Amino acid sequence: MSESDRHFANRTLDEFTADLAAKTSVPGGGAAAGSMLAHAAGLGGMVIAFSHGKKKFVDFESDLAEAAGRLERIRDESLELADLDAQGFKALADLWPLAEDDPVRVQAWPAAVHGALAAPHQLVLRAAETVRIIERLVGRSSTLLRSDLAIAGRLAGFAAEAAGWNVDMNLSSLRGLDDGAPLAIAMETKTHEAIRAAITGAAAIDAACRAGGRATISS
């Protein structure tokens, strides 16, 4: 298998889920979260595609185009972040068996801790952004696809929660670094604020779509 074929984006769905089920730590929860967010962004893009050019949504054409572009980028970014999450986990896991005073671990540990946190943290933020984008599509897109819109919102909300677990699991390691405590507090605060916003937004999308999906969601 070539290096490019190892990227999650280049695997078939069957290969990805088989790898997920295998007795190996990678891919794991972070890859699943990234895949989930890619699905959410893809569904949101589909809703926009079916709403473009419709007379009743002509006033929202520029907003729909902007949202479509951003969701397409998030779809790509989420799979890239899934790769980075796996790489970050492996770098940290390779150091765990070493004694804490081993020179190799001492030198590589800080960068590995930051690397293990960066991707899941960004996934949380992208997921929360995806929910915000989908919120703005309610009442501005075809009600015939409101179930897809609601599913996209729920997937993005859960992706935020899922990726948040990988942040939480590594915060104690960040706190153990020199000057890591304030960074850990800031990251934990920002992560959980984004998760709460994503969950709340996903619930609002669901409720609005169940009510018919015709009314916009007030911010």
Domains of the chain: 4-210 (1.20.120.680)
The larger pLDDT score, comparing residue 1 to residue 132, is at: 132
What tens digit of pLDDT does each residue of 35-72 get? 999 999 999 999 999 998 888 889 999 999 999 999 99
Q: Which residues are within 8 A (CB) of 22 and not within 5 positions of it... i.e. 6 or more apart?
A: none
* Distance linking the first and last C-alpha atoms of the chain: 48
Phi then psi for residue 215, to 5 deg, are: -90, 140
How far apart CA 191 and CA 12 sit, in angstroms, is: 31
What tens digit of pLDDT does each residue of 148-174 get? 999 999 999 999 999 999 999 999 999
208 close to 217: Cβ distance less than 8 angstroms: yes
